[in-house]
Amino acid sequence: MTVSSNREGTIAAIATAIAPGQGSIAVVRLSGQAAKEVAQSVVTVPGKQRWSSHSVLYGYVTDEKGKERIDQVLILIMNAPRSFTGEDIVEIHCHGGLIAVQRVLERVLIHPKVRRALPGEFSLRAVLNGRMDLTQAEAVSELIAARSRKAAELAMAGLDGGIQHRITALRETLLDQLSELEARVDFEDELPRLNEIMVLNKIETVQQALKVLIEDANRGAFFRQGINVALIGSPNVGKSSLLNRLSRREKAIVTDLPGTTRDLLESEVILEGVPINLIDTAGIRTTKDEVEKLGIARTHEALISSDVVLLIFDLSLGWTKNDQKLLLQIPQNSRKILVGNKADIPQKEAFNAQGSEATDISNALRISALTGLGEETLIQRLLEVCGASDSNSVMTALNERQLDLATAALAALERTKDVASQKLPWDFWTIDLRQAIHNLGEITGDEITESILDRIFSRFCIGK
């Protein structure tokens, strides 16, 4: 069964996170025509409480025979269309944890008129019933998954319709130009001459707006997904000490013995609203230790996959030949920052002499992982090289799916301009212009297939 099939049935699922001993309250959500009937079959409500819309009832869930009480619950009722999905919804608020909520859900699913919801099916029904557009539904999922305050703010901007409004306005501009072109294809002799310059200016305006959206999306990805930062350097230069300093907790063992780190150590921190995944790597050197060799191999893998590489060297020893070798092992297209550690220790003259011979390290940051000297400067430089330093300038950000479509639309508009420059007939203009309109329509859900809906909502959590 696909997400978008069998839309008429009543569905149920746990709508809150569950874990043993965690959460005082859990919610079992039902949506569909039989939602109230199913809830009434499993919940006993004392007194004369009425099952009216947008009311809260008190009761308890019983077993099939009505003898054993499974849990005390509150029942929230929302009749269509004034609900999240646009259908009748009943939420059973029971005790959290693991056992009670699972037993309540099992009791609900016994009813023949209800089935277990598929991932994202509640949100899908909200879109199909016009309660929200596709970008808003995706924003709900992103809000749940937000790892930082800024990521949550971007999700709320999408939930408030920020993305939908901007994309719709651009799409309507292109639709206006398409209609002008298609009219000339069919009735050119009966209409005034088309102002080509005006059409191209409108297309250029949309292109510039898309470029801004794409740039913001690339920066916004850091707030959503975080930045992977690999710490590399010769053994005993202070990589683990720096990781402990930035993460504010000791995750790595710090000793005076070289080669202490034998495997990748990771620690996630939030710096200026950006999730940072710090990866402390094994020091790269020649060794006969098989375990250390494995750690060094993983270090090379981390260099390739990381967004930023911090190459740490020992200021008290100066820039060494091994530091130069490490620099050359960093992929050329990687963002990198040279960091001189142990600034609290008197430095040798070799720092400048060796540095000038090997590479330009005049912009290297000087820090002390022991005292915290230079820490704020390092954080700011790290965010700057990723374009994530000015979080306030990013107000909305497309997700990965939306970004791909916006990029495709931008390319289609560029092809339209190429056709125009070749002075080809109007119907040639419309081919790529129509493709750009279709791409933008897929972002908002105005032009989307059932298979695409299945793929999008299958990534949502069950109960959302």
Model confidence at 189, in pLDDT bands (50, 70, 90)? low
The string of DSSP codes covering 26-66 is EEEEEESTTHHHHHHHHEE--TT----TTEEEEEEEE-TTS
> Which CATH number do you get for residue 35?
3.30.1360.120
Name the least confident of 175-189, 327-341, 421-435. 175-189
CA distances from 188 to 9, 181, 182, 416, 431 (A): 52, 9, 9, 20, 18
Within-domain flag for 455? no
Within-domain flag for 464? no
- The overall average pLDDT reported for the chain is 83
Within-domain flag for 459? no
Counting residues of the chain whose pLDDT is more than 90, the rounded percentage is 36
Instruction: Write out pLDDT tens, residues 442-455.
Output: 999 888 777 778 77
Tokens 């402390």 -> residue: 280
Tell me what pLDDT residue 8 has: 72
| 44 and 184 part of one domain | no
Tell me what pLDDT residue 114 has: 95
| 339 and 410 part of one domain | yes
| 72 and 205 part of one domain | no
Q: Is 39's pLDDT higher than 90?
A: yes
The string of DSSP codes covering 308-377 is EEEEEEETTT-S-HHHHHHHHHS-TTSEEEEEEE-TTSPPPTHHHHHHHHH---TT-EE--TTT-TTHHH
Count the helix, strand and coil residues of the chain and give each as a percent rounded to the nearest 5: 45, 15, 35
Within-domain flag for 21? yes
More confident residue, 295 or 121: 121
| 78 and 151 part of one domain | no
Within-domain flag for 396? yes
- The two tokens of residue 114 are 């209800």
> Which CATH number do you get for residue 163?
3.40.50.300
Report the distance separating Cα 195 and Cα 208, nearest Å: 20
Per DSSP, what are the bridge partners of residue 366?
340
| 82 and 170 part of one domain | no
Model confidence at 406, in pLDDT bands (50, 70, 90)? very high
More confident residue, 120 or 194: 120
Per DSSP, what are the bridge partners of residue 114?
10
Tokens 């060794």 -> residue: 287
Taking each helix axis as running N to C, give the angle between helix 239-247 and helix 375-385, from 0 to 180 degrees, rounded to the nearest 10.
90
Report the distance separating Cα 33 and Cα 80, nearest Å: 9
Instruction: Write out pLDDT tens, residues 146-182.
Output: 888 888 888 888 888 889 999 999 999 999 988 888 8
Task: Identify which of 342, 344, 345, 335 has the alpha carbon closest to the alpha carbon of residue 381.
Answer: 335
> What is the number of residues in the chain?
464
Within-domain flag for 170? yes
Report the distance separating Cα 208 and Cα 215, nearest Å: 11
| 179 and 57 part of one domain | no
Domain that holds residue 103: 10-133
Overall number of domains in the chain: 2
3-class SS of residue 264: coil
Q: Which of 107, 133, 159 corresponds to the end of one domain?
A: 133
Q: Under a CB-based contact definition with an 8 Å cutoff, are residues 448 and 124 in contact?
A: no
